[in-house]
Amino acid sequence: MSVKMLYILNIADKVNNFSYSAMIAAQKLGIEFSIAGNWNYPDDAARKADEKKYGIKIYQVDFIRAPYDPRNYKAYRQIKAIIEREKFDLIHCNTPIGGIVGRYAAKKCGVKKVIYQAHGFHFYKGAPFVNRTLFYNIEKYLAKYTDVLVTINNEDLEAAKAFKLKKGGKLCYVHGVGIDLSVYDNVSENRDKKRAELGLDNDDIAVISVGELNKNKNNIVIAQAMSKIKNKHLHYYLCGVGQEEENIKSFASEHGIKENIHFLGYRNDVKELLSACDIFVMPSFREGLSRSLMEAMACGLPCVVSKIRGNTDLVRKGGGYLCDPDSSAEFADALGKCLASDRKAMGEANLLSVKRYDLNIVIDEWEKIYKDVLM
């Protein structure tokens, strides 16, 4: 009789890189893999196409992103019903909401083995008081129903050591969700063409960020840093959409750098855009282990990022600079150093560092965890 596993995430457009390494590892072991989340497929046919493509079952669960939203109780009932009907042997749940709902439902249904993967504890250093108290105590309580607790950065790993897991439980570390480095091998071939599309001259230096334009991503601090540098050849490209776009535009207009800040919106050519640029920036207040940062490293870019959890794991000496997310002066100084440094050597350092997060390494890590937990 085969082992049946339910992988629980939160919200996603479709099956993607988030779950891919776990899915492949499970299938290599002959585990029947199913996945539950709040999906944004255009129609049922698209969902069924992914089921056929990956050889899995996809379940819709009406998760709400906000952790405190009472509507997540509906998601709990849905997950519980799926588990009761399908009789899963193993639950692998992710993110705070998926982890809370999944572990409560697994406990109620008597699931034999439960894995919880933390993609960034909500009680991180510098978190609001309610996060540091409420989420810490929730995680501490649910740890006793967890057979394997998995973290993807060292700060969370150290924090998790304070939790008492289920008898015989283990604390593990994996290198994120994995990144397929092979797809970046020839990404620079069209660099000149893409730079021309962006309107860049040979003397121009392009800085890029990737992600939603929200308060947490803190892109305004890069605009503030550029206003201090005052270099007409320095251009900042923001790849993403969000509510902070107007605030950044207003700041740029008020400080005379409107012509140097460019909004690219949502893009499907992120790899090519990264390769066309010269420096990657990410001034976020909070991250778990940023995939966009890993992608930039895989493209050989020097990185100027906030000195926070996850980023400190990824950016090592020689590959860029870590800055206080509240300090535009630090970002301005770091960008200035990048302008005057050997950026190619910095990029090569990142190409070496990011190898630790290769997809095949993460698949092997999950295969070992699944083997151990099912023994």
**pLDDT > 90 in the chain, percent:** 92
Q: How far apart are the C-alpha atoms of 335 and 234, rounded to whole Å?
A: 10
AA identity, residue 66: A
Q: How far is CA 295 from the centre of its chain?
A: 11
Mean pLDDT of 87-91: 98
Tell me the pLDDT tens digit for each residue of 217-261.
Answer: 999 999 999 999 989 999 999 999 999 999 999 999 999 999 999
| Contact by Cβ (8 Å): 123, 135 | yes
Q: How far apart are the C-alpha atoms of 37 and 75, rounded to whole Å?
A: 9
Exposed (0-12), middle (13-18) or buried (19+): which is 39, by Cβ within 10 Å? buried
Q: How far apart are the C-alpha atoms of 154 and 124, rounded to whole Å?
A: 12
AA identity, residue 125: K
Strands 148-151 and 113-118: what pairing? parallel
Q: How far apart are the C-alpha atoms of 187 and 61, rounded to whole Å?
A: 37
Order the strands of the 261-265 sheet from edge to edge. Answer: 261-265, 234-239, 205-210, 279-282, 303-306, 320-323
Predicted local distance difference test score (pLDDT) of residue 2: 86
Place of tokens 């600079």: 321
Q: Which residues are within 8 A (CB) of 130 and not within 5 positions of it... i.e. 6 or more apart?
A: none
Q: Would you call 34 helix, strand, or coil by DSSP?
A: strand
| Contact by Cβ (8 Å): 373, 200 | no
Query: 59: which strand partners?
Result: 36
Place of tokens 């893409």: 194
The structure tokens listed for 13 are 């457009």
Q: Would you call 181 helix, strand, or coil by DSSP?
A: helix
Query: 116: which strand partners?
Result: 93, 149
The structure tokens listed for 31 are 């585990």
Q: With helix as H, strand as E and coil as C, how does 231-268 read?
A: CCCEEEEEEECCCCHHHHHHHHHHCCCHHHEEEEECCC
| CATH 3.40.50.2000 segments of the chain | 4-178+358-374, 181-357
pLDDT at 1 over 60: no
Q: How far apart are the C-alpha atoms of 323 and 308, rounded to whole Å?
A: 9
Strands 205-210 and 170-173: what pairing? unpaired
In Å, how far are 30, 194, 223 from 23, measured between CA atoms? Answer: 11, 34, 40
Among the listed residues 370, 367, 363, the one whose alpha carbon sits nearest the alpha carbon of residue 176: 363
Tell me the pLDDT tens digit for each residue of 135-171.
Answer: 899 999 999 999 999 999 999 999 999 999 999 999 9
AA identity, residue 359: L
Domain 4-178+358-374 fold = Rossmann fold (3.40.50)
Directed axis angle between helix 291-298 and helix 343-353, to 10°? 120
Q: How far is CA 179 from the centre of its chain?
A: 11
- Which CATH superfamily, name and number, covers 181-357? Glycogen Phosphorylase B; (3.40.50.2000)
Tell me the pLDDT tens digit for each residue of 7-27.
Answer: 999 999 999 999 999 999 999
Q: How confident is the model at residue 288 (pLDDT cuts 50, 70, 90)?
A: very high
Q: How confident is the model at residue 311 (pLDDT cuts 50, 70, 90)?
A: very high
Enter the pTM of the model: 0.93
Predicted local distance difference test score (pLDDT) of residue 92: 98
Predicted local distance difference test score (pLDDT) of residue 122: 87
Q: How far apart are the C-alpha atoms of 329 and 334, rounded to whole Å?
A: 9
Mean pLDDT of 335-364: 97
| Contact by Cβ (8 Å): 82, 36 | yes
Work out the mean pLDDT of the chain and round it to a whole number. 96
pLDDT at 131 over 90: no
